[in-house]
Amino acid sequence: MTTVKDILNWVQTLAPAYMKESWDNVGLLCGDPGKSVTRVLVALDPFEHVCREAERVGAELIMTHHPLIFQPAKSITTETSVGRSILRLCGSGISAINAHTNLDCAPGGVNDVLAQTLGLANVSVIRPNGTDEAGNPWGLLRMGECEATLEVFLERVKTNLRASGLRYVRGCDNVRKVAVGGGSCGGGLMEAYDAGCDTFVTADVKYNQFWDAKELGMNLIDAGHFATENPVVPVLARKLGEAFPEIEVLISRDHGDCLAHY
Amino acid sequence: MTTVKDILNWVQTLAPAYMKESWDNVGLLCGDPGKSVTRVLVALDPFEHVCREAERVGAELIMTHHPLIFQPAKSITTETSVGRSILRLCGSGISAINAHTNLDCAPGGVNDVLAQTLGLANVSVIRPNGTDEAGNPWGLLRMGECEATLEVFLERVKTNLRASGLRYVRGCDNVRKVAVGGGSCGGGLMEAYDAGCDTFVTADVKYNQFWDAKELGMNLIDAGHFATENPVVPVLARKLGEAFPEIEVLISRDHGDCLAHY
Amino acid sequence: MTTVKDILNWVQTLAPAYMKESWDNVGLLCGDPGKSVTRVLVALDPFEHVCREAERVGAELIMTHHPLIFQPAKSITTETSVGRSILRLCGSGISAINAHTNLDCAPGGVNDVLAQTLGLANVSVIRPNGTDEAGNPWGLLRMGECEATLEVFLERVKTNLRASGLRYVRGCDNVRKVAVGGGSCGGGLMEAYDAGCDTFVTADVKYNQFWDAKELGMNLIDAGHFATENPVVPVLARKLGEAFPEIEVLISRDHGDCLAHY
Amino acid sequence: MTTVKDILNWVQTLAPAYMKESWDNVGLLCGDPGKSVTRVLVALDPFEHVCREAERVGAELIMTHHPLIFQPAKSITTETSVGRSILRLCGSGISAINAHTNLDCAPGGVNDVLAQTLGLANVSVIRPNGTDEAGNPWGLLRMGECEATLEVFLERVKTNLRASGLRYVRGCDNVRKVAVGGGSCGGGLMEAYDAGCDTFVTADVKYNQFWDAKELGMNLIDAGHFATENPVVPVLARKLGEAFPEIEVLISRDHGDCLAHY
Amino acid sequence: MTTVKDILNWVQTLAPAYMKESWDNVGLLCGDPGKSVTRVLVALDPFEHVCREAERVGAELIMTHHPLIFQPAKSITTETSVGRSILRLCGSGISAINAHTNLDCAPGGVNDVLAQTLGLANVSVIRPNGTDEAGNPWGLLRMGECEATLEVFLERVKTNLRASGLRYVRGCDNVRKVAVGGGSCGGGLMEAYDAGCDTFVTADVKYNQFWDAKELGMNLIDAGHFATENPVVPVLARKLGEAFPEIEVLISRDHGDCLAHY
Amino acid sequence: MTTVKDILNWVQTLAPAYMKESWDNVGLLCGDPGKSVTRVLVALDPFEHVCREAERVGAELIMTHHPLIFQPAKSITTETSVGRSILRLCGSGISAINAHTNLDCAPGGVNDVLAQTLGLANVSVIRPNGTDEAGNPWGLLRMGECEATLEVFLERVKTNLRASGLRYVRGCDNVRKVAVGGGSCGGGLMEAYDAGCDTFVTADVKYNQFWDAKELGMNLIDAGHFATENPVVPVLARKLGEAFPEIEVLISRDHGDCLAHY
């Protein structure tokens, strides 16, 4: 019998909790570690429609990147989105596990998958925070090599990430060294610049960050939060299935990007 | 149809939220305000055995004094007492409402009931914080008159509150003006003294507070947290039943004081 | 002779300093209030290329929306963007005035111009902070009426704001009541919702804000920071020219949006 | 000639200041280190009646567990209990030394004496903070073995500590591994539980701590602050007498527990 | 019989506690309010030599400007200056009352006496904080008129205050409107400037404050802390004697300025 | 060609930034590190008249002890002294470098020069913070030996520092071991005392510090902020000239002490 706790322990090997940011909330955020698990639903977010899908497909566990509870909860009611998710999960006895900034930083995690999805070569960690048990460096951002004009690279980003659109600032014409950070990593611009990158792919970029990039002569591409992080979902599902062949691992069909471009 | 929201609104008239302490957490802490309610379980605390009792008796709502969530929750799991209570409530679709320091302070609330249970005469609010809509003063502590030796008064406190025992310091022999504060109100000793009281009944009293009372020549009686607050439970249940004759109101049978004296 | 001080006083009538946020920095941020002014360059931002343009066109003053100094400066060197701007302005004796969140909030300011540019009818302030000397309500967000499908409205936003592209989440199909907030106003989503709006146009929207809108059934449109705020620039220039007919008012030609969409 | 300073130095070997909590106040809190000492009065607390006793018996020094000054003093007047004690000590030229949390933690200190008084076997420090010069581990709580039913153990606690009564919660029927912490150590419950204890003896226990113990299945016994700490007083007096045979060491006769049970 | 309490009440009419700064410590800082007083020693500071003088002259009370305890005391020992003063006062049963920033601000207090001692005309409060019961404005600084060259004024300051020397910066040649603030009031320079003063007399002036004055074209004169505040001492002594004709009021003979100039 | 950056790097060897206090601001505070330098003006302070002198003498750089910007600047206008200095420097393309608390602490810095100017023998660092690359101890205060009466020493201090006057308290008659700290180092009194010094020369001394010295029996001499720190200026100028023989180093003629004594 595979329990929630077994899967939690496995996540700890994949994305150890010590790799998370101090403000983050990861691990088992809802449920009973002793419960048996036969089916897991994997998704980027634990939103209510994902919880509903988990009920429908008969999953005993959802595994997500973003945490079910971010701001510690003073109440659990139908009046908030988080409350509705928790009420539904508890009502159906479904547990929730997540790996957030620890999975961003882990070798083979969100940002390694992002770099790989973009076809970068010779990928390495920018400013590693340390090395894991296997001796691999870990940290937030990745960088890798490429050989393309900006136009070609934009097309590749859009296609490979299945992004509905890109926002970008042109800093130079050729793309040779690319930094990547899935989700809101715009604050890492100087770090990418100092590492010698000419291009940075991330999401949720702010006005002043676009201008900073322009002044630095860097290409800064906002490909969307979902689009830059979701590639890790199938990878996570596959690894989970390999680690626990006896359980059924499903990828959410109901969850997709809410963002459109016009 | 009576909803959780209807009962919540009624609680607001009984113990308005503006009477609560700034650090407190009151109101609907779990559930769906739109749900129909036919049976309510009233208890001092929303502990797991109370939640289990609510399931057993078929209540759709528990109403308590202490809050289900005090420290905002970062996770809801079976590994903590609060987590177990919430999982059980959500699992059975039971909502939870509470009135804590607002009920301590409200006219007719915890401390008025306590004063009345002790048979005090001419009860008034010590240092009122203001007046409510009906023009009644409200605030934390109450005081009232009495005419007894300390021995007689101790016996009365123990009997009327059904306390398993009392801890006290003798400051004087006669009891004439008594301050009361259910639960941990030992910090209000000087306030009671300044109001001219010779005796103070409260709970969770600390070592230095006992000595302070002795120096002031006051009787300080720790009658227990449960014993000093629980008298409000049947009163709350009765009022609720009167306000909503169509619903069944039950008082918890499983919840009692955990404390024993030797 | 018109001085920097004269223009500063006029700005105070247009967008009084009491309307600014507490963390903001507005007014004369560089230069000498006593200097004579014959030519002013108006632009959204005081970036270095705008300062260079001011030198080239012979302006003695730049007037912008964003502040020259946001984070108080510990040094003024060519190593930072802000430092380069200040060195250039001081080197050429050009002063810098700005009106930021006070101009966002002021009647006739950034957000009124934005609402007007989008062709909204019956525009009003959402949750006014107060009324100005003329008795007009002031505050951050505006709302107004419209009658369009989402597709038609998206086209209008893109065209009227000259936006290079839009990011949006579809919450409903028809646009009837629209909230607007130029720049990073995504945090005002609930305020717009509570005011009964079905659509919100702003910029720098974050991932979770898009999802919140979707859950609320609201259309949330990120039209870009520059595109939503720049419409105020020609209005500001025109008013300045009317107030001081003796000075020449120029709108920056070198400053435009750095953002592109793909 | 023995001076106050000599005794202070000796206390430092018995209960080094580095063992105290950061918020604590220990050592010479009143008087003149250079003064000669021929008679010392030892007591748990430096209350006014103890100071009066010191005057009466002709002591030049009082040595206590609790500090004379806890909250730093803004004034020294007869209007406060601390002020009266200090005025009396200074008026009679009596010095005051104390060892508080350093004596709780020290090998042979408050908690070792408490464990010994309760007849525990194989006593050890729970989670030691370090080792002292002699290589002995030191820290706050102690645990030791026992073999008794709860009823037998309760009787032993009450008798050995001369407690006027006990408050307790029954978590289980047999007492085998007991944690002890004199005074207000209720916050150490989880530490005791994690160390494998089934029973915890301490004082000033709060409502929620009793319930926590019940949920954990632990016996939690509140034997009173004075009763759990006072056993160290005769031990301290004896050691002091052995270290300074030339001075007379008296144990307070006037100081006892103020607490009674009903 | 006159008690310490009677004198404390009188001080409250002279310099009400509500006029003090929030960080200050004033009133009865040592002793017994119920004690009888026949002789009072008045001095600027409660230093140990003043306490010794009080013992010698048989005073039961010292009344000072500066507080006996400023930093709340964690201990009262001979190892600190404050400890020695308190031990001596308590040892001899002498109480200590002070009026500090409340006396600076009060009408007729430190700064009015200073202005008068310098012979200023038409003295008024700079930026009053309010009005007292008698309707007189109160506040920290005073200003008054004068007609002198700087040289003449310097000579007058030195002579009238019996200062051993002055430190000053020359900002202009003529002295017409003078601000005064006894003790460390250098931070009030801009306030004095804004009130139209050309000269400011205070003490404990810092380097940058001298330069600020020079830039403003103001004369800034540091006449010493003792010299600028001590004039209030005989005034306080006289008023006390008039209010309590039955007690003997002595001015300290042992206390003088410790500062010399070379 | 010598650049601002070259000189900045040299300063880093003379007074490394790691020696500065955490609250301090040092290094290049204004200008362009890439600019060529042929003439430097050295002064204690970067006040406006020093900036004007720099313009007049054709310096491209001013090097000072005190920082141009201390409180981070929210604006750069003629309305403040700092603003006027910066506007003038930027207007004339003059850079500004400073070494403040790092130069106080550095071997051969402010306090070593002060000790040497006073003719002290066997000078050492009081409580060194560490050792520099050359193995020399560094830290704030210095102490050295002397053999003089207080009168003789006062004369020497006044003469050697060219002080316009001294303020002092006499603690003893002979001067044998002298601590020195240029500028506002009065807070180091106990440190000097603990190191065995009988005399302390510093500046900006406060009332209570003078009295503390008197109680300790120490001579405390306030020789003025400018007078105690300015001796480092010619030393700094000389070293700079030696390090960069190709540039002209001038010492400010316009900057002197603003303080006078009467």
Instruction: Quote the pLDDT of residue E250.
Output: 98
Helix or strand holding residue C69 (H, E): none
Q: Is E139 exposed, middle or buried (0-12, 13-18, 19+ CB in 10 A)?
A: buried
* Closest Cα in chain F, distance from residue C78 (Å): 5
Chain F residues bordering chain E (beta-carbon distance below 8 Å): 45, 47-48, 81, 154-155, 158, 165-170, 183-184, 203-204, 206-207, 210-212, 214-215, 225-226, 258-262
Nearest by CB: E165 against F207, F225, F261 = F261
- Residue E160 is given by DSSP the state H
Give the helix ranges, DSSP H, for B164-251.
Answer: 189-194, 207-216, 225-229, 232-243
Q: What percent of chain B has pLDDT over 90?
A: 100
Instruction: Quote the pLDDT of residue E16.
Output: 97
Nearest by CB: D167 against B81, B165, B206 = B165
| DSSP strand pairing (B95-98 vs B61-64) | parallel
Instruction: Quote the pLDDT of residue F177.
Output: 98
pLDDT in tens, B149-198: 999 999 999 999 999 999 999 999 999 999 999 999 999 999 999 999 99
pLDDT in tens, B32-72: 999 999 999 999 999 999 999 999 999 999 999 999 999 99
> Cβ contact (<8 Å) for A262 and C226?
no
pLDDT in tens, E160-183: 999 999 999 999 999 999 999 999
Q: Are B32 and B4 in contact (CB under 8 A)?
A: yes
pLDDT in tens, D187-208: 999 999 999 999 999 999 999 9
> Cβ contact (<8 Å) for C90 and F93?
no
pLDDT in tens, D206-220: 999 999 999 999 999
Instruction: Quote the pLDDT of residue C85.
Output: 97
Q: How far is CA C234 from CA C44, C94, C249, C253, E63, in A?
A: 10, 21, 10, 12, 70
* CA–CA separation, B135 and B206 (whole Å): 35
Mean pLDDT by groups of 10 residues along chain D of 262 residues: 97 96 97 97 97 98 98 96 96 97 98 98 97 96 97 98 96 97 97 98 96 96 98 98 98 94 94
* CA–CA separation, D68 and D47 (whole Å): 8
Mean pLDDT on F173-189? 97
Chain F residues bordering chain C (beta-carbon distance below 8 Å): 25, 27-34, 69, 71-79, 86-87, 89-91, 93
Chain E residues bordering chain F (beta-carbon distance below 8 Å): 45, 47-48, 81, 154-155, 158, 165-170, 183-184, 203-204, 206-207, 210-212, 214-215, 225-226, 258-262
Give first-to-last CA distance, chain C, whole Å. Answer: 49
Instruction: Quote the pLDDT of residue B114.
Output: 98
pLDDT in tens, E190-230: 999 999 999 999 999 999 999 999 999 999 999 999 999 99
Q: How far is CA A74 from CA B27, B29, B225, in A?
A: 11, 7, 24
* CA–CA separation, C17 and C26 (whole Å): 7
Q: Model confidence at F157, in pLDDT bands (50, 70, 90)?
A: very high
Chain D residues bordering chain E (beta-carbon distance below 8 Å): 25, 27-34, 69, 71-79, 86-87, 89-91, 93
Instruction: Quote the pLDDT of residue C231.
Output: 98
- Residue A182 is given by DSSP the state S
DSSP secondary structure letters along B123-154: EEESS--EE-TTS-EE-S-EEEEEEEEHHHHH
Average pLDDT over chain D reads 97
* CA–CA separation, A141 and A112 (whole Å): 9
Q: Are A201 and A180 in contact (CB under 8 A)?
A: yes
Instruction: Quote the pLDDT of residue B243.
Output: 98
Q: Model confidence at F159, in pLDDT bands (50, 70, 90)?
A: very high
* Exposure class string for D148-187: b at 16+ Cβ within 10 A, else e: bebeebbebbbebbebbbbbbbbbeeebebbbbbbbbbbe
pLDDT in tens, B71-105: 999 999 999 999 999 999 999 999 999 999 999 99
* Closest listed residue to residue B251, CA positions, set B32, B10, B53: B53
Q: CB neighbours of C32 closer than 8 A, spacing ≥ 6?
A: C4, C93, C95, F77, F78, F87
Which chain B positions have a beta carbon within 8 Å of A100's beta carbon? none
Rg (CA), chain A: 19
Mean pLDDT on A167-195? 97
D·E CB contacts under 8 A:
82
Residue of A51, A206, A259 for testing the chain C interface, max C β-carbons within 10 Å: A259
pLDDT in tens, E103-156: 999 999 999 999 999 999 999 999 999 999 999 999 999 999 999 999 999 999
Residue keyed to tokens 């500063």: C8
Q: What percent of chain E has pLDDT over 90?
A: 100
Q: How far is CA E231 from CA A48, E108, E109, E112, E261, in A?
A: 76, 12, 10, 10, 20
Q: How far is CA E141 from CA E39, E104, E144, E177, in A?
A: 32, 8, 10, 13
Q: How far is CA A158 from CA A259, C124, C261, in A?
A: 14, 40, 11
Q: Are E65 and E233 in contact (CB under 8 A)?
A: yes
> Cβ contact (<8 Å) for C75 and F32?
no
Instruction: Quote the pLDDT of residue F207.
Output: 95
* CA–CA separation, F18 and E77 (whole Å): 39
pLDDT in tens, A44-61: 999 999 999 999 999 999
Q: Model confidence at A152, in pLDDT bands (50, 70, 90)?
A: very high
pLDDT in tens, B207-222: 999 999 999 999 999 9
A·C CB contacts under 8 A:
82
* Closest Cα in chain F, distance from residue C256 (Å): 25
Residues in chain A: 262
Instruction: Quote the pLDDT of residue C251.
Output: 98
* CA–CA separation, C109 and C100 (whole Å): 10
pLDDT in tens, C99-120: 999 999 999 999 999 999 999 9
Dig out the tokens for E17 from the structure: 């506690």
Chains C and D touch, using 3 or more CB pairs below 8 Å = no
Backbone angles phi, psi at D222, to 5 degrees: -95, 105
Chains E and C touch, using 3 or more CB pairs below 8 Å = no
pLDDT in tens, E68-95: 999 999 999 999 999 999 999 999 999 9
